[in-house]
C-alpha cells in the first residue's frame, strides 16, 4: 500500500511507526509520505514525458505549503483557484511561470495579485512573480482581467476553459463537463471568444483549458475532449489564429480500493499519441492532477473514543468526523479504515471493501459531530477495537485536510510529513485561541451610518 505498510501488525509510513507519531502529535492527525508524493509526481512526469508537459499539481486537493514545496522542488507547477492558494503556491517557492489560475469567480483583488508580485513581503506576503496564465471561464471574466492588466500596464496570457459536454460515470458533484455545468463555455461560444480576443494586447487569449471532472477511471472522455479541442485548434488555425497551449486538467483516478484506478502510464498511453505531433509543432501541454498524486500519499489517524452497541448496529465512535474528513458524508465516498496495530492474522495487504479474514465484526465508524450524516464508514467489517485504539483512514491525502472545517467548534487537526525515518510537523494543531481569534473584542468593529457619512466627507 504505497509507503504505508504493516510490519509485525504495526502500521508504518516509510520507516516510522504511526502509533508513535500519533502519541507524539495527537489525533486526529493527517500524515503524508514525502516519498509517495515524489513517486506519484515522478510517475506522471515519466508517463507524459514525450509531451514535455507542465504538470501543475491542483492545490485544492492538498494545500499544505510543505506538500506543495515537495512537489515544486520535484519540478511541478501549481494549479490554484483562489488568492489564498496563490499565496500558498508562492510561499512554497513556486515560480510564477509554473502557476495557472482557474475558477469561475476570481475577484478583482485576486486577479491583481496574480498579475503582479502579490502582497509585498513587508505586509506578510511572500515574494512572487506574475503567474503564467489565467484559465478564464466566461466573457465577463475575460474582460475584467483584461481591464486589470491594462490598468496595471502589464501583458498577460489567458486560456479559455471549454466545456465539451461529455458524459462521465462519476459522482454528480464531481462532474464538471455536463451541459448544465457552471464551468467553462461551450465549444461554439469558445470559437467566437477566441477569435475576438486572441490578439488583445494586454491579455492574449491563446490557450485552451478543459477539465472534465474528478475520479475518471476511463481514458475515453479524455480522448473525446482532446479531439474536440484539436478540431477547434485546427479551425482557428485556418483563420490564422494560433493556439499556443492546451491544458487538459486533472481528474485522474486514485485507488481507494487497491487496483481500482489506472496508473498514470495507462492514461498517457491513450493521450500521448494524440498530442505528440502537436507538441513538436509548438503546442504546450499542461496537466492538473490533484487526487492521483496526493490521495494515497496521506492517511488520517483517529482514535477510538467509545464503542457502543445499539439495537441494530455497532458504532465505533472516533475523534475524527465530517469536520475532519467530509468525503464520506458529502459524496458517500469509500475510505479503507483499519486499526494501526493488529494481530498477524488481521494484517491487511491491500485496501479492500470486505476483507476476507476471520473474526471481523460489522460496525459504523462515526465521528463526534451532532449530525446523522457524520460518519466515516457504514456497515464496515473491522477487527474488534476498543477505547483508545488507533485507526487509520487510508487514501485521505486528497480533499481531506483541504476540506476540513471547524464545525461544532473543533479546532483543525495537525499535519505531519514523514521523511525517511523522521516525522515533521508541517501544520500545528489548532487550539481554542485559534478557534476564537477573529471573534475577540479587539478584532471586531462597529459600522453604522455615521461612519459611512464621515467616510464620504473625506
Ligand atoms: N483542475 C481543475 C480545474 C479542477 O477543478 C480540479 C478539481 C482539478 C484540476 C483536480 O482534479 P483531480 O485530479 O484531483 O481529480 N472534493 C472532491 C473533488 C473535487 C474536484 C474539484 N476539482 C472529492 O473529494 O472527491
* Residue identifier of the C-alpha nearest atom 20 of ligand 1: 214
From the list 446, 422, 383, the residue with the least C-alpha distance to 24 is: 422
Query: Do the Cβ atoms of 132 and 157 come closer than 8 Å?
Result: yes
* Residue identifier of the C-alpha nearest atom 7 of ligand 1: 214
Q: How far is the CA of 177 from the centre of ligand 1 (A)?
A: 12
- Structure confidence at residue 2 (pLDDT): 76
User: Which residue from 60, 292, 326 has its CB within 8 A of the most atoms of ligand 1, so it is best to mutate?
Assistant: 60
Answer whether 58 contacts ligand 1 (Cβ < 6 A): yes
Q: How far is the CA of 265 from the centre of ligand 1 (A)?
A: 20
* Mean of the per-residue pLDDT values of the chain: 93
Answer whether 288 contacts ligand 1 (Cβ < 6 A): yes
| 448 band by pLDDT with thresholds 50, 70 and 90 | confident
Answer yes or no: is pLDDT of 250 > 70. Answer: yes
| 204 band by pLDDT with thresholds 50, 70 and 90 | very high
From the list 289, 214, 258, the residue with the least C-alpha distance to 394 is: 258
pLDDT tens string 291-308: 999 999 999 999 999 999
The least confident of 26-35, 156-165, 179-188 is 179-188
Answer yes or no: is pLDDT of 171 > 70. Answer: no
- Structure confidence at residue 397 (pLDDT): 98
- Structure confidence at residue 183 (pLDDT): 81
Answer whether 399 contacts ligand 1 (Cβ < 6 A): yes
Answer whether 113 contacts ligand 1 (Cβ < 6 A): no
Q: Counting atoms of ligand 1 from 1, which one is nearest the CA of 103?
A: 3
DSSP 177: -
pLDDT tens string 269-289: 999 999 999 999 999 999 999
pLDDT tens string 400-447: 999 999 999 999 999 999 999 999 999 999 999 999 999 988 887 888
Answer yes or no: is pLDDT of 164 > 70. Answer: yes
Distance of CA 258 to CAs 291, 349, 382, Å? 15, 9, 17
Distance of CA 299 to CAs 7, 60, 63, 270, Å? 17, 17, 15, 31
Instruction: Report the alpha-carbon distance of residue 158 to residue 82 in Å, rounded.
Output: 16
Answer yes or no: is pLDDT of 120 > 70. Answer: no
User: Which residue from 48, 53, 61, 300 has its CB within 8 A of the most atoms of ligand 1, so it is best to mutate?
Assistant: 61
Amino acid at each position: 500500500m504505497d509507503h504505508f505498510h504493516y510490519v509485525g501488525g504495526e502500521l508504518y509510513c516509510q520507516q516510522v511507526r504511526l502509533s508513535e507519531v500519533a502519541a507524539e502529535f495527537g489525533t486526529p492527525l493527517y500524515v503524508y509520505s514525502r516519498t509517495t508524493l515524489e513517486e506519484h509526481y515522478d510517475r506522471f512526469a515519466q508517463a507524459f514525458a514525450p509531451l514535455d508537459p507542465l504538470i501543475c499539481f491542483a492545490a485544492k486537493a492538498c494545500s499544505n505549503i510543505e506538500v506543495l514545496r515537495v512537489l515544486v522542488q520535484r519540478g511541478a507547477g501549481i494549479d490554484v483557484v483562489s488568492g489564498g492558494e496563490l499565496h500558498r503556491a508562492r510561499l512554497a517557492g513556486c515560480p510564477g511561470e509554473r502557476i495557472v489560475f482557474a475558477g469561475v469567480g476570481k475577484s478583482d483583488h485576486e486577479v491583481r495579485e496574480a498579475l503582479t508580485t502579490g502582497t509585498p513581503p513587508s505586509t506578510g506576503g511572500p515574494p512572487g512573480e506574475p503567474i503564467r496564465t489565467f484559465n478564464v471561464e466566461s466573457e465577463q471574466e475575460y474582460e475584467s482581467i483584461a481591464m486589470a492588466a491594462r490598468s496595471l500596464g502589464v501583458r498577460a496570457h489567458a486560456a479559455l476553459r471549454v466545456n465539451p459536454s461529455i458524459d462521465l460515470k462519476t459522482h454528480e458533484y464531481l462532474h464538471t463537463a455536463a451541459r448544465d455545468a457552471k464551468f467553462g463555455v461551450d465549444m461554439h461560444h469558445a470559437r467566437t471568444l477566441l477569435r475576438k480576443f486572441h490578439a488583445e494586447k494586454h491579455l492574449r487569449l491563446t490557450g485552451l483549458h478543459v477539465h472534465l471532472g474528478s475520479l475518471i477511471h476511463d481514458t475515453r472522455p479524455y480522448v473525446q475532449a482532446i479531439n474536440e479541442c484539436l478540431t477547434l485548434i485546427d479551425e482557428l488555425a485556418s483563420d490564422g489564429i494560433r493556439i499556443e497551449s492546451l491544458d487538459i486538467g486533472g481528474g485522474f483516478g486514485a485507488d481507494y480500493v487497491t487496483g481500482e484506478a489506472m496508473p498514470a502510464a495507462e492514461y498517457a498511453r491513450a493521450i500521448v499519441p494524440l498530442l505528440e505531433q502537436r507538441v513538436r509543432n509548438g503546442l504546450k501541454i499542461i496537466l492538473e492532477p490533484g487526487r492521483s498524486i496526493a490521495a494515497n500519499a496521506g492517511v488520517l489517524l483517529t482514535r477510538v473514543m467509545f464503542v457502543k452497541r445499539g439495537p441494530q448496529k455497532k458504532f465505533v465512535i472516533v475523534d475524527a468526523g465530517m469536520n475532519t474528513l467530509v468525503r464520506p458524508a458529502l459524496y458517500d465516498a469509500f475510505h479503507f479504515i483499519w486499526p494501526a496495530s493488529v494481530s498477524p492474522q488481521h494484517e491487511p495487504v491491500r485496501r479492500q471493501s470486505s476483507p476476507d479474514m476471520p473474526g471481523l465484526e460489522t460496525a459504523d465508524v462515526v465521528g463526534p459531530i451532532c449530525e446523522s450524516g457524520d460518519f466515516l464508514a457504514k456497515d464496515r467489517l473491522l477487527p474488534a477495537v476498543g477505547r483508545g485504539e488507533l485507526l487509520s483512514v487510508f487514501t485521505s491525502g486528497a480533499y481531506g485536510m483541504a476540506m476540513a472545517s471547524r464545525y461544532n467548534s473543533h479546532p483543525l487537526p495537525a499535519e505531519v510529513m514523514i521523511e525517511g525515518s523522521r516525522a515533521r510537523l508541517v501544520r500545528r494543531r489548532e487550539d481554542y485561541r485559534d478557534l476564537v481569534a477573529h471573534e475577540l473584542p479587539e478584532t471586531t468593529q462597529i459600522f453604522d451610518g455615521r461612519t459611512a457619512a464621515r467616510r464620504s466627507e473625506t
